[in-house]
Structure 1
C-alpha cells in the first residue's frame, strides 16, 4: 500500500522517503543563513524524489530556527514545485484552532495538493516561553491541552468548505477558515506516547509516532493505533510512517563523525545542560563528554542510522519492514565543518542524495 498502512514490504522493494527538518542553526550561522540552507535542502529533497518535507515547531531554542511552521512551509513550498510540504508539527495548544485552520487553508489554496498539517500536543518549548507564547495577554490555564481532542476536530471542520456553526447569544454564526475552500490539507496527529495514537485511531486520522525522538515504544504505539482505528471518510484505513535520525556519508566512520554535533545537542537536552547553537564537527570532537553520560550518548547513536550508503539503505529497509510501513521520514543529522559555507548544509544534502541513490535499485520498477 502506498500510504504506509502497515504491511511488510515485499522483497526487492523499499519504502518511500521523506524529510523532517528542524532548521538547525550552527555556531557559525545566522538565522538567515540557516533558512537559506533549508531552502537548498528542500530542493535537493525534491530533486531526489523525496515524498514530503516537514518542519517542526520549537521556540526559544538557540539551535533551532523552526519556530513558525506555516511561515516556513510557505517559503519552502514557494522554492519547490512538486514535493509535499508540511508541519511535523504545529503544537496546537500554543495556538487558537481558527488561526491554525486559516493558515493552512491559505497554504492549501496557494499550493493545492502539496500541503500537510501535522498536529502535536506538546508545548515545544520551556515553561517560561510557553507562558509568553500562550498567555502573555493574561490568564494561565491548561484548558488548551485538556481540550486538545475538541480543538483537533475544530481545525479539521473549519477548513472544510462548509465550515462550522457557533451559537453565541442566541444567534448562529458561521466560521470558515477561508471563503471558498477548494480542498483541505490532510491532518496528521503526531506524538511520542500512546495518547495521540488513541486519539488518531478514535478520530480516524493518520498518525506518526516520533520514533526519531523517543527511540522506544514505537511498535506498541503503532499497534495500538492500528487495532483501535475507526475508519473515516478521509482516512478509510490506518495510515502511518516511521521517523528516523539518519546520517549517510561515503564511509560509516565519516557518517558517525558528522552526527556528533546533533548527538551533543540531544545529550544536552536530555541531561538539562545549557543549550547553545549546534556545534560544528570540530567543536563537537573537542568537547569532553562526562563519564556518566557516555552510555546515554552511545545508546543514542545505536538507535540512529549512521552508515555508508548501502548499509544505511539496508537498515532503513529493515526498519520499514520491522514496523510495517512503506514510508520513512528521514531527519538528516549530518553536521557541518568549519570550512563549509555558512549558508548551506552540504553533509545534510549528501545524506539525502546518497540514501536515495542507494535505495533506488530496490525500488526500480516499483512505481
Structure 2
C-alpha cells in the first residue's frame, strides 16, 4: 500500500465540441491548465492525436510552451509524444528548449502508438529510418543522451567524433517517462530504468500484468533509482450523480464511435448527445463498462474511488482525464464542466 497521500494530475486531449474552433478549444484548455496550477495538481500533460475532429492536441510541445507561460508551479509535459512520428533530435531539442523556458517543470512522456489512422500515420512518418517502430528503444536512448547537459557524440568511420547537443548550454534535462498499455512498453521501461505510465484511461486491459512486469523486471539506470509509475483515468465530477452521468454521455458516445469504427465527429454537447442517444442508443452497450472503469459521480464518492484505485495498484499519483462535456449554453472558449471537475477534486490533489 502506498504510504504517500494521493496526488492528482491532469491529462488533456484539448477536446473540440460541435461548432467550436481550434482556437477556442485551446483557449479553454489553457484556462484549465491555469486552474490546475492554482488548485495544486501535480502535473498537466497534453496528448498527441492527429486528424480527429474532437481532439486539438496535435502538438504537445507547442501547448506545453503556451501553458508554461501562464503557470508557475505545476509540472508540464506530453502524454505523450508519439516518437515514431518524429526525429529523436527534434524531440530532444523541443523539450530541452521547454526545460530552459520552465526549468525543473518539464516531463517528456513518450509513446510508441501512432496517435491516428493508417493514412495519417504514413504522412507523419515520411522521415526515413527515424520513423521505424523497431528502432523505438534506440530512439529513446538517443533522446536521453541528446537532452543531457553532456550531449552525445557521433563517431565516423575515420575515427573522428562529432558532438551533438539538444541545446548549446543545458544545465538540466526534462524527465523522461515511457507511456503504454502493453507488456512491451512495461518491459522496455523496466529494462531502461525509466518511470512508466499505464494508459488506463484508454482501455485498462492488461493493467495488472503490465505493472507486475515493470516492477519485477526494473533495472535502475543509476544507484538508488526505484520503479515509479502512475495510472490514468477518465473522470467526471459534478454536484450530483445525475449531472455527472449527463456530462459523461458525449465522451461515452465518442468512445462507442471509436470502438465501432464509425465516422468521428466533434464532441457533442450534453443536449445533443441526449437527443441522439434517444434515437440510436449508441452508448448503451458501454454504460456498464464505463460505470466500472470510469470515475463518475460526486466529489466525495469519486475521491474515495480514486484513493481505492491508487491503493489497489500501489501508486501515489493518478492522472485524471477530465472528460465532462459542455452544455449548449456554455461559452465556446471555456470548459466550465471540466474546470468544475478539477475544482471539486482539488482537496484530494
Give the TM-score, by structure 1 length: 0.91
Give the superposition deviation at 1:292. 8.3
Give the superposition deviation at 1:234. 8.3
| Structure 1 CA distance for aligned equivalents of residues 22 and 325 of structure 2 | 16
SS of residue paired to 1:180: coil
8 Å CA contact 1:261–1:281 kept in 2: the answer is yes
CA 1:134/1:317 → structure 2, altered by over 3 Å: closer, same or farther? same
8 Å CA contact 1:206–1:235 kept in 2: the answer is no
| Structure 2 CA distance for aligned equivalents of residues 347 and 15 of structure 1 | 23
Q: Which residue of 2 aligns with 1:190?
A: 179
Q: Which residue of 1 aligns with 2:144?
A: 156
- 1:300 is aligned, of 286, 290, 302, to 290
Give the superposition deviation at 1:295. 2.4
- 2:112 is aligned, of 112, 117, 121, to 121
Write the deviation string for residues 267-315 of structure 1: whole angstroms up to 9, x where unpaired.
1111100001011111111113756863234313431000101101110
**C-alpha RMSD of matched pairs (Å):** 1.7
Give the TM-score, by structure 2 length: 0.96
Equivalent residues in 2 for 1:270-281 (5 A)? 270-281=259-270
Q: Which residue of 2 aligns with 1:67?
A: 58
Query: Where in structure 2 are there 5+ consecutive unaligned residues?
Result: none
8 Å CA contact 2:252–2:283 kept in 1: the answer is no
Query: Where in structure 1 are there 5+ consecutive unaligned residues?
Result: 1-7, 361-367
Q: Which residue of 2 aligns with 1:32?
A: 23
| Structure 2 CA distance for aligned equivalents of residues 303 and 232 of structure 1 | 34
- 2:167 is aligned, of 178, 202, 216, to 178
8 Å CA contact 2:27–2:333 kept in 1: the answer is yes
CA 1:293/1:330 → structure 2, altered by over 3 Å: closer, same or farther? closer
SS of residue paired to 2:304: helix
CA 1:319/1:283 → structure 2, altered by over 3 Å: closer, same or farther? same
8 Å CA contact 1:241–1:327 kept in 2: the answer is yes
Give the superposition deviation at 1:165. 1.1
| Structure 2 CA distance for aligned equivalents of residues 293 and 117 of structure 1 | 34
Equivalent residues in 2 for 1:2-17 (5 A)? 8-10=1-3, 14-17=5-8
- 1:312 is aligned, of 295, 302, 311, to 302
Matched residues, number? 347
